[in-house]
Structure formats: C-alpha cells, structure tokens
C-alpha cells in the first residue's frame, strides 16, 4: 500500500525543484554543483510527506482516482489508507532524523503542522467577501506552498550558513508554490479528467470556492449564496460552473499566478548565475503552462 504511488509515474515536481535548489545554492556558495547526500534525502522526504498527505486527503475527500489509478482508500479501504499515510509519514520522519540537523528537522516539521492547519482551513468558510480571499491564500500557502518553501529552505541550510540565501530559497519556494496551486485550481475548470488523472470540477463538488470562483463572484454576486452553502443545493455545481466560465475568473487567477511567478524569479535571480538557477527560472514557466 505504501509503495503504491512510488511507481515513478508522478510528475516528481517537488523533488526535482528541491534538487535544483540544492545545486543552485551550492553553486552560489562555493561554485560546486554536487548535491550532498543530505540534500538528496530532503528531496526524498519532501515527496514522502507529499504522498502521505495525498493518501489522507483522498480519504477526507472520498476520492476514488488519482494519477490515473484507483486511490489507496478505493482499493484497500479507508482504515488501511489512514494507516498507510501514517506509515509513509513515519518513514519520512525517520529519514529526517537521520539527516541529523536540528534546524532542518524543525523546518520540515513545520510543514506537517501547516498541512494539517491548511486542511482544517479548507473545512471552514468565511462569510465576509474580503476575508474570503485572504482565507483562500492562507489555505493555499499552508496546504501547498509551505512544503515547497520549507524544503527549499532546508536544502539551502544544508548548502551554506548564510541566512540571506535561506530567505531567497524560502521565498522562491513560497511564491512558486502559491502559483502552482492557483494553476491547479484553474485546471480544475479547464482540464479534463483524462488529462488530470482525477475527476475535473472536483473542487465545486467538494463545496470548495477556489480562485476562479472567488474572482467570478465579483462579476456575478449571485455566486455568494452558493459559496456560503458550499454548492449544496441541486444544480448549484452546474450553475456555479456556468458563472465561472462566463466570467474572467480563470484569466484573473492565471494572472495572479503569473505575478507570484515573477516574484519567485525576482528572488532566485539574487543567486549567482548557474544552469540550475536558470532551470528554476524556467520552471516558473512550466508551472504556468502545465496542463496536468
Ligand atoms: C491535496 O488537496 C492535499 C494536500 C496538498 C494536503 C493534504 C493534507 C492533509 C490531509 C493533512 C495530513 C497531512 C499529512 C502529512 C499526513 P486537494 O484535494 O486540493 O487536491 P487533489 O485534487 O489532488 O486531491
Ligand atoms: Mg483531494
């Protein structure tokens, strides 16, 4: 059960980004692009924490497909899926302790707290429209960007003792992480299930108002009531979908993601030039143009 998603078929976006960040920081600090074994471990641990959280997320969301295959809960049931997620997280914790750096342990432990808080934020909703967008961005940071930001920070700590480099790594990860999730929320409206490997329009069906809906709401205030009842009445999901597609919600969310990517580029450009620094810049484009 625990090996099920480690089949080499995921995008491996997080570990790739972490290894690139490790090389970019090593290059910046002492002109060496060699990845330390401890940095490679961070990349592995990052993917493990992510996978553990997905196994639990699919139980919470009652999802039956992910990455084009059945979910763990669908095949083995919820009880075993919860335990499988726990087991992957425990293996990640052991690997983290083995790195033997207390700062790195605390940076990556923060991620686990953020993931859980992010999931709780998603269960709640705000009545006030202004608070709603801030709540959405905070949830987005905690559920998605914290893992990327703090993994980048962890490998930068293992690269060098300079706190300005740690801050650059963290802010690059935070900004590209938020952009990544904004585009994920766009894809829920623009992509099809075949491409995504999971059902499309899933967010509305789960009662979630993401970026495209929140922007659409400014143009179509009728959406407000639907957001408040979490699209719970018959026909709500379909009507909300119509409003979003008639509005510029998708365009505005994409534009916001572009701004976060520009900020990520501004940060990473403070490092010395290296092929990996350029790859991290290039990666922001991939985030914006991906279709799965
Ligand atoms: C995907 O959400 C889920 C996450 C990014 C994190 C979920 C976090 C938890 C369940 C907290 C428990 C954490 C650990 C470490 C075990 P989504 O439903 O928005 O995306 P999806 O469409 O891919 O399912
Ligand atoms: Mg889910």
- Atom number, ligand 1, closest to the C-alpha of residue 52: 16
- Atom number, ligand 1, closest to the C-alpha of residue 118: 8
Token pair in block for residue 85? 């997620």
Taken as a whole, the chain contains a residue count of: 292
Ligand 1: does its nearest atom lie under 6 Å from the Cβ of 210? no
User: C-alpha distances in angstroms, 175 versus 64, 105, 141, 287?
Assistant: 30, 22, 9, 11
Q: What is the pLDDT of residue 33?
A: 81
Of 141, 139, 135, 136, give the one whose Cα is nearest residue 119.
139
pLDDT tens digit sequence for 158-196: 999 999 999 999 999 999 999 999 999 999 999 876 776
Give distance in angstroms: CA of 275 to centre of ligand 1: 32
pLDDT exceeds 90 at position 283: yes
- Give ion ligand 2 contacts, CB < 5 A: 57, 61
Spatial distance between the Cα atoms of 76 and 84, rounded to a whole number of angstroms: 10
Ligand 1: does its nearest atom lie under 6 Å from the Cβ of 119? yes
Per-residue confidence at 202, pLDDT binned at 50, 70, 90? confident
Spatial distance between the Cα atoms of 140 and 144, rounded to a whole number of angstroms: 6
Token pair in block for residue 196? 């995504």
Task: Please identify which residue in the block is written with the tokens 């914290």.
Answer: 146
Ligand 1: does its nearest atom lie under 6 Å from the Cβ of 115? yes
**Cβ-based neighbour number of residue 130 at 10 Å:** 8
Token pair in block for residue 167? 């801050």
220-224 contacts at long range (C-beta below 8 A, 24 or more positions apart): 220/246, 220/247, 224/129
Spatial distance between the Cα atoms of 134 and 186, rounded to a whole number of angstroms: 18
pLDDT exceeds 90 at position 11: no
Per-residue confidence at 40, pLDDT binned at 50, 70, 90? very high
Residues 6+ apart with CB under 8 A from 149: 170, 171, 173, 174, 177
Query: pTM of the predicted model, to two decimals?
Result: 0.95
Query: Mind giving me the DSSP string for 167-197?
Result: HHHHHHHHHHHHHHHHHHHHHHHHS-HHHHT
Phi-psi region of 34 (alpha: psi -120 to 50; beta: other; left: phi over 0): beta
Q: What are phi and psi of 8, to 5 degrees?
A: 75, 10
pLDDT tens digit sequence for 216-252: 999 999 999 999 999 999 999 999 999 999 999 999 9
Q: What is the pLDDT of residue 275?
A: 96
Spatial distance between the Cα atoms of 58 and 211, rounded to a whole number of angstroms: 21
Q: Using CA positions, which residue lies closest to atom 13 of ligand 1?
A: 53
Of 280, 87, 257, give the one whose Cα is nearest residue 187.
257
Map out the domains of the chain with their CATH numbers: 11-289 (1.10.600.10)
Ligand 1: does its nearest atom lie under 6 Å from the Cβ of 143? yes
Ligand 1: does its nearest atom lie under 6 Å from the Cβ of 142? no
Mean pLDDT of 84-102: 98
> Ligand 1, from 50, 110, 115, 201: best to mutate by most atoms within 8 Å of Cβ?
115
Give distance in angstroms: CA of 53 to centre of ligand 2: 10
Is residue 88 classed exposed, middle or buried when 0-12, 13-18 and 19+ CB atoms within 10 A define those classes? buried
Give distance in angstroms: CA of 177 to centre of ligand 2: 17
**Cβ-based neighbour number of residue 48 at 10 Å:** 22
CB 253 within 8 A of CB 211: yes
């Amino acid at each position: 059960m625990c090996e099920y998603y480690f089949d080499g078929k995921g995008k491996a976006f997080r570990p790739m980004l972490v290894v690139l960040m490790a090389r970019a920081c090593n290059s910046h600090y002492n002109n060496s692009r060699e990845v330390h074994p401890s940095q490679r471990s961070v990349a592995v641990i990052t993917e493990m924490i992510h996978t553990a959280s997905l196994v639990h997320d699919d139980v919470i969301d009652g999802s039956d497909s992910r990455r084009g295959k059945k979910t763990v809960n669908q095949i083995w049931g919820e009880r075993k899926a919860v335990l499988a997620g726990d087991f992957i997280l425990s293996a990640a914790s052991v690997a983290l302790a083995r790195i033997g750096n207390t700062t790195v342990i605390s940076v990556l432990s923060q991620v686990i707290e953020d993931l859980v808080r992010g999931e709780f934020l998603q269960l709640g909703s705000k009545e006030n429209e202004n608070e709603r967008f801030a709540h959405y961005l905070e949830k987005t940071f905690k559920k998605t960007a914290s893992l990327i930001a703090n993994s980048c920070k962890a490998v930068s700590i293992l690269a060098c003792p300079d706190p300005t480099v740690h801050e650059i790594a963290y802010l690059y990860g935070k900004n590209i992480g938020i952009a990544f999730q904004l585009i994920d929320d766009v894809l829920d409206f623009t992509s099809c299930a075949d491409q995504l490997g999971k059902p499309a329009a899933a967010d509305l069906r789960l009662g979630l108002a993401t970026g495209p809906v929140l922007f659409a709401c400014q143009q179509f205030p009728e959406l407000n009531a639907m957001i408040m009842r979490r699209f719970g009445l018959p026909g709500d999901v379909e009507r909300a979908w119509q409003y979003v597609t008639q509005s510029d919600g998708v365009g505005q969310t994409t534009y916001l993601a572009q701004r976060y990517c520009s900020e990520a580029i501004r940060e990473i450009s403070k490092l010395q030039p290296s092929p990996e620094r350029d790859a991290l810049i290039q990666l922001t484009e991939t985030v914006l143009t991906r279709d799965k």
